[in-house]
Amino acid sequence: MADYIGAIDQGTTSTRAMVFDHDGSVVARHQVEHRQILPRAGWVEHDPDEILRNALLVAGEAFQGYQIRALGVANQRETTVVWDRRTGTPFGNAIVWQDTRTDRIAEALNRDGRGELIRHKSGLRPATYFSGGKLQWILEHVDGARDAAERGDALFGTIDTWLLWNLTGGRVHATDVTNASRTMLMDLETLDWDDELLACFGVPRAMLPRICPSSDPSSYGHTTEGIALTAALGDQHAATVGQVCFTPGEAKNTYGTGNFLLLNTGTEPVRSEHGLLTTVAYRFGSAPPVYALEGSIAVTGAAVQWLRDRLHIIGTAAECETLAARVPDNGGMYFVPAFSGLFAPYWRADARGAIVGMSQYDTDAHLARATLEAICYQSRDVVEAMQQDSGVTLDVLKVDGGVTANDLCMQLQADILGVPVSRPMVAETTALGAAYAAGLAAGYWNDTDELRANWHESHRWKPTWSPQQRAEGYQRWHDAVRRSLDWIEIGA
């Protein structure tokens, strides 16, 4: 019987399992959504047990009838879980990467000077986005968590760690370098938990998982069903692998709940001076780690969901394209979807969503178009910062993720950037990247050249706007962003 590589892609809104053959083609898939728990303004939670049940469900459905040689896991990053080592019971819901309850923690770190230590060692800036503050909040506010952590009975993990621990029957408490690099607790150069960083958040080392390569034949063990677990990566890093960005200067942009643009910078970390993050892109086995500059945008596809679920002006996400196409432009309307502040390159937790430039002439179609343009303008902000930090000028932007099915949005992205936009044949590059990393470790693929040979372009959009139209639109976008700032008092 032919064998295949499996992947579990645990995302912000759903969990999918996929099966890939040697050509990198999809042969099976199954996907299930999970609840978004919103206890109060700014708080976003997930039920870890629901996520685990869904992961087991989709894997059981997708893998049935296939001989899976190895399995890779990709996950929503930064989302934080603490659970009891003895019982496996979580200490409450997972705190999701979008959650802003830790704004006071981040502000205090920036105010008292510890922020510079965190930036230097971890490559990150203190923000509500990352796991360290979420873990500190749990230890300080959840009954019994601190005492259990001090005794060694409470375990911390991002979603990859939670899944790996459960998939192996509690035998493996591990994470990979990409996920660890998103916590504010790991030193980017030593690739180990750092005592000074742990002290910043009051985190006991005993509760932390072992840090492993992203792709490795022996680090993650086997599932209770006997499938080899050979890879784990944060979702954006997995997409970087899936888009075969293995050469310094290659970049990809993933369009999901948020947007995440990663630029491969090689085997030395590049420190950002323009609001980006320095992160580990991936590490294969004992080879040196490969680093990246990242621009993280909190709300892009989630803005389309807001039109659907809160304003009810569309019935499905796909209808946003149809509605937006009814008008030739945005009618002067700009939408800054800063629902949880602004991430890269601004890092303003005090920002909130703003719709500006409206007139009596404007309609729901103009708002839909302004929403798509907001996705693209935020990505241009990141590209501009990336070019300033790295000196690399993009010739083409590789794109993936659900929003790339929206042809109008991708055309707008090419127009707003002024460079072609390229979508691959396999759009599920996160799951594909997890499978590639797992397959490399298992010897299913020999090297990255084989993976490159699997990459094929599905569609390319070329810019159509004039330079003047592009410049004027971008200026008005910046005018709108300025109006979204200083809207709330941090910690209020």
Per-position b or e across 205-228, b if 16+ CB within 10 A of its CB: eebbbebbbbbbbebbbbbeeebb
Coil, strand or helix: which one is 470? helix
Alpha carbon distance 74, 99 (integer Å):
20
Residue 283 assigned ligand-binding role: no
The answer to the question of whether 468 is labelled as a binding residue is: no
Residue 16 counted as an annotated binding residue: yes
235 assigned ligand-binding residue: yes
Q: Which residues contact 316 (CB under 8 A, 6 or more apart)?
A: 308
Tokens of 117: 């230590």
Contacts (Cβ under 8 Å, ≥6 apart) of 184: 118, 122, 124, 126, 130, 131, 132, 133, 197, 200, 201
223 marked among binding-site residues? no
Helix (H, G, I), strand (E, B) or coil at 300: coil
- The Cα–Cα gap between 117 and 363 comes to 48
> 154-158 and 80-84: which strand pairing?
antiparallel
- 255 phi and psi, to 5 degrees? -105, 100
CA distance between the termini of the chain: 61
Q: Which distant-in-sequence residues (6+ apart) come within 8 Å of 148 by Cβ?
A: 84, 91, 154
The annotation status of 86 as a binding-site residue, yes or no, is: no
Smallest CA-to-CA distance from 300 within 207, 173, 402, 388 is with 402
Please choose, from the candidates 295, 272, 417, the residue with its C-alpha nearest in 3D space to the C-alpha of residue 344. 295
Q: Residues 411-415: contacts with CB within 8 Å, 24+ apart? A: 411/461, 411/464, 412/372, 412/373, 412/376, 413/375, 413/376, 413/379, 413/461, 414/461, 414/462, 414/463, 414/464, 415/376, 415/463, 415/464, 415/465, 415/469, 415/470
Strands 14-20 and 3-10, sheet pairing: antiparallel
Structure tokens at 45: 């939670």
The answer to whether 257 is annotated as binding is yes
Instruction: Consult the annotation and say whether 129 binds a ligand.
Output: yes
406 assigned ligand-binding residue: yes
Beta-bridged to residue 334, according to DSSP, are: 356
301 annotated as ligand-binding: yes
**Cβ-contact 160, 212 below 8 angstroms:** no
Q: 385-424 b/e with 16+ CB inside 10 Å = b?
A: bbeebbebebebbbbbbbbbebebbbbbbbbbbebebbbb
190 is in an annotated binding site: no
Asked whether residue 378 is marked as a ligand-binding residue, the answer is no
The residues pairing with 31 across neighbouring beta strands, listed in sequence order, are 16
Name the binding residues for ADP: 12, 16, 257, 301, 402, 406
Name the binding residues for sn-glycerol 3-phosphate: 12, 77-78, 129, 235
Name the binding residues: 12-14, 16, 77-78, 129, 235-236, 257, 301, 305, 402, 406
Name the binding residues for glycerol: 77-78, 129, 235-236
Name the binding residues for ATP: 12-14, 257, 301, 305, 402
